[in-house]
Amino acid sequence: MKRRDGSFVPWAAQRIAKASREDADAPIFGAPLAKARALSPAERRLVSAFPDRGADPAGLQKALARLLDRSLANGRTPRFENQLFSGVADPAMAGALLGLFSNNTVSTGEIAPLATEMERAVLSWLLRLVPWDGARAGGSATPGGSFSNLLAMYLARKAAEARHGADAIPRLAYFVSRAGHYSIPKGADLVGLPRGAMIEVPTDAEERMRPDLLADAVRDARRQGRIPFLVIATSGTTVAGALDPVRDIARVAESERLWLHVDAAWGCFGLLGPDAARFRAGLERADSVTFDEHKHGGAPVAWSWLLVRNGAALEELRPPTGGGYLFHRKDAVREEADLGLTSLACGKPFMALASWLAWKSMGATGWKRRVAHAAKLTRRFRDGIAASDRWELALEPQTWLVVFRPKVPAVTSRVARDAVSRDLRRRINASGRWMINLCPMPDGYAFRAIFTNPLMTESHVDELLAHLARSAGASS
């Protein structure tokens, strides 16, 4: 029987190769946003109609190509400012594609000897960035920062259960700042914590957790008969890129015997740069750290790690029963155990090849240059906004993103200013060339621009500033 699908991989490879050569100057969509979002009746039938019979490969490829070219957002171009994961390093994308093409899992060393060694190697390189005892520390690859945070909460809950007993779970309390990631309460729910277990800690004017109010909140919880067990600090908040004072938070965590998790999904980029000491401060006392590799143009979406100060904590992930068909040495010591034994997943794609190839091609010195370049672009944009007569800074940047808002008369209400911002976003994104996000802050909405895309240059920054100026001018 003649195969009907043999042309799809070469077709896709050709499209990928062509697009990768054009990404630096590519728009987000291949049409204005309104057209990119709209599907014709025929296109809608193509997308949603149940396929009783297989389509002609050439015709299907042609129809799909038209849809992809017009309506699939390009998250690789420097003009994609809508999420924190803008951009991907060329060797990392190559590694991810090759890893996925192997169609294998890294669950066991038996079927993935090379992949296992590479994943362990990358993990050891990341652990060098954190001031822990490398021989004792460990980690596990996850499919995104939300999963890393979930895994950290699970390990913290298991540690609390071992210390206080299972009967204590309904009284457990954990602490996170108002600016913490939304995956935290979701993860708490998934690991069996009651909805009321979360205690939100206020932030200062720079969106950073207040350690003094954390200490007060822990004491208040104890007086109420609750059992504090975990605090989550954020190194690089999602909206403002703010850096919680981890060192001061660590002092509270240590004195109160709390598990300290640092969600550094965004801020981990700083550990690779010339200003690494600022991002490393306090991490020596952290019990776990979330490290996203897809946030800074390293790996494609989504690829993350949970790093743990005591690798033995990951033993909680070993399946209590079953799995003998896959893991033939379930009792192997940690250094020799199959990676799937201490992972959330059974099917683990070979995404570590993306990390490995990016690290090998760039080296530590290359990463340091990348971080310095991102900081330079951030300062250039920050200065452009500060000098603008139509825009103003919402906060001074602490990392590689800038939050800003339109200048409005002082008497303008928050509701009216937010309406102006929403209208401006529609204008900014309408052409389909740029896409930028609008984010909630305590005093109203603000725009957020990010500068970690490896293809971004000073010319892109200047183009964005000019585009913002035109968009604001058109709205006045």
Task: Dump pLDDT digits (tens) for 411-442.
Answer: 789 999 999 999 999 999 999 999 999 999 99
HSE of 327, CA atoms in CB hemisphere, 13 A? 23
Q: Which residues contact 355 (CB under 8 A, 6 or more apart)?
A: 92, 95, 122, 293, 298, 299, 303
Share of the chain above pLDDT 70, in %: 98
Whether 177 contacts 209, CB under 8 Å = yes
pLDDT at position 141 is 95
**Positive or negative CA dihedral for 45, 46, 49, 55?**
positive
How far is Cα of residue 8 from the mean position of the Cα atoms in its chain? Answer: 31
According to DSSP, the residues that pair with 259 across neighbouring strands are: 230
pLDDT at 456 over 80: yes
The dihedral region occupied by 236, where left means phi > 0, alpha psi between -120 and 50, and beta the remainder, is left
**Least confident residue range of 76-90, 321-335, 366-380, 462-476:** 321-335
Whether 452 contacts 295, CB under 8 Å = yes
Task: Dump pLDDT digits (tens) for 192-237.
Answer: 999 999 999 999 999 999 999 999 999 999 999 999 999 999 999 9
pLDDT at position 149 is 97
**Least confident residue range of 7-16, 137-146, 338-347:** 338-347
* Residue 344 pLDDT grade (very low, low, confident, very high; cuts 50, 70, 90): confident
pLDDT at 171 over 50: yes
Which has the closest alpha carbon to 255: 289, 288, 214? 214
The residue with greater pLDDT, 325 or 238, is 238
pLDDT at position 347 is 87
Distances (CA, A) of 149 to 14, 141, 186, 368, 377: 37, 12, 10, 26, 29
Averaged over 375-394, what is the pLDDT? 98
Average pLDDT, the chain: 94
pLDDT at position 1 is 43
Task: Dump pLDDT digits (tens) for 4-51.
Answer: 566 999 999 999 999 999 999 999 999 999 999 999 999 999 999 999
Q: Which domains does the chain show, CATH number per domain?
A: 95-358 (3.40.640.10)
Task: Dump pLDDT digits (tens) for 389-417.
Answer: 999 999 999 999 999 999 999 878 999 99
* Residue 475 pLDDT grade (very low, low, confident, very high; cuts 50, 70, 90): low
pLDDT at position 328 is 82
pLDDT at position 297 is 67
pLDDT at position 115 is 96
Averaged over 110-125, what is the pLDDT? 95
pLDDT at 3 over 80: no
Q: Which residues contact 226 (CB under 8 A, 6 or more apart)?
A: 171, 172, 173
* Residue 330 pLDDT grade (very low, low, confident, very high; cuts 50, 70, 90): confident
According to DSSP, the residues that pair with 228 across neighbouring strands are: 173
**Least confident residue range of 181-185, 335-339, 386-390, 404-408:** 335-339
**Least confident residue range of 81-90, 156-165, 285-294:** 81-90
Whether 154 contacts 121, CB under 8 Å = no
